[in-house]
Amino acid sequence: MSDTHILVINSGSSSLRFSVYDMRGERQIADGKIEQIGEGAAGPADHRAALAQALAGIADRDAIVAVGHRVVHGGERFLAPTRMDAAALAELARFDALAPLHNPANRLGIALGMELLPGRTHVAVFDTAFHHSLPPAAMHYAVPAQWRARGVRRHGFHGTSHRYVSREAARMLGKTPAETNLISLHLGNGSSVTAVRGGLSVDTSMGMTPLEGLVMGTRPGDIDAGVLLHLLREGIDPRELDDALHHHSGLRGLCGENDMRAVRALAATGNADATLALEMYCYRARKYLGAYGAVLGRVDALVFTAGIGEHDADIRARVLAGLEWFGVRLDAERNHACRGQRAMAIHAPSSRVAILVIPTNEELEIAREVIGLLEPRATPGHAPARATHRRRSDP
């Protein structure tokens, strides 16, 4: 492949991020973010105008050979990076209800990319794909067989981030991914924890949808299903319930703020609700660390990533507090000095488990997945994708 420029698009509901990588050296040569799409004079009128604006700012569009698109939910149909065509795009629409905040906008970005950049290979890379290695005991819910036959199971998310940092962690430890066991904490407005054994996801905190698991910015994480049944019996409108679970729970539901910086500032004033929000956020993460330590048996490293995980030293310290029995010992000075500018080890010399902070790079990982699909041998250590998407008749 003489030209190896890969355009990566992450299309959100009101924003569009893009990056261009020259994959001969994994060098980023362009990037940008367009916000306030469709929100008046401040931003582009629609996603088509936003993508056209992004493309206009890329100097050498002719060198782009393929476009990688981030998609949150691929269900059981899309198991690996997938070449997009009209049929695949139509089937992808079936999963909008499972990730309503993300998938519709992701699909729109693919459709517009195919329209504005014809003649290129368009590849969807799924957040759920990394977690298709979950063993059955971790994948399934204890629900009736009829539900399982309808696709009720755990999928997991943030897979592109967890895959990227797990590879980087293995490199930092001087191991191959196949030799490495670790727990990856992707802590941001959306948060998840993943247990990685030998480079494969074997358990993860999010479930069939991104609502399960940790306390998040606006999502509750783990909650008794009986609570939801109770609210429905009490007459809450299902649409109101959906809105509350996606937009008004988590940190926001606890203290009115969903940005961790604002929560911490509010807690510093003595606000009891914000203090509780901080305690619950860190407690839930610490609880999952203990659980996944039991799942893995041997843990080589804990990895913090994403906005909070990379930049908030206090949250890292709170999450790890009391885990000395687990072989985890934090170096307070290193932790305080680490602000996410670069990958860094923050464990004390006596720690049996490495503690790493690794800035995630989902865009680069998507570009790697695209090259891995187009030319498996062109990406060192990259296994070729084994599947695109299953036909509807497949089991």
* Catalytic positions: 127
The Cα–Cα gap between 194 and 2 comes to: 37
The Cα–Cα gap between 340 and 311 comes to: 5
- Side by side, which strands form the sheet with 181-186? 200-204, 192-197, 181-186, 301-305, 354-357, 344-345
The amino acid at 318:
R
Neighbours of 343 (CB within 10 A): 18
The Cα–Cα gap between 316 and 166 comes to: 18
329's enclosing H/E stretch is none
Of 290, 293, 319, the C-alpha closest to 304 is 319
Per-residue b/e over 84-117, b at no fewer than 16 CB within 10 Å? Answer: beeebeebbeebeebbbbbbbbbbbbbbbbbeeb
Residue 20, classed as helix, strand or coil, is: strand
Residue 205, classed as helix, strand or coil, is: coil
Of 54, 53, 63, 59, the C-alpha closest to 2 is 63
Let me know: does 113 contact 124? Beta carbons within 8 Å. no
The Cα–Cα gap between 102 and 168 comes to: 27
**What does the angle CA 337 – CA 338 – CA 342 come to, to the nearest 5 degrees?**
135
Let me know: does 221 contact 185? Beta carbons within 8 Å. no
DSSP string, 95-163: GGGGSTTTHHHHHHHHHHHHHHSTTSEEEEEETTGGGGG--HHHH--S--HHHHHTT-S---S-HHHHH
Q: In sequence order, what are the residues at sequence separation of 6 or more whose Cβ sits closer than 8 angstroms to the Cβ of residue 391?
A: none
Of 57, 10, 58, 60, the C-alpha closest to 37 is 10
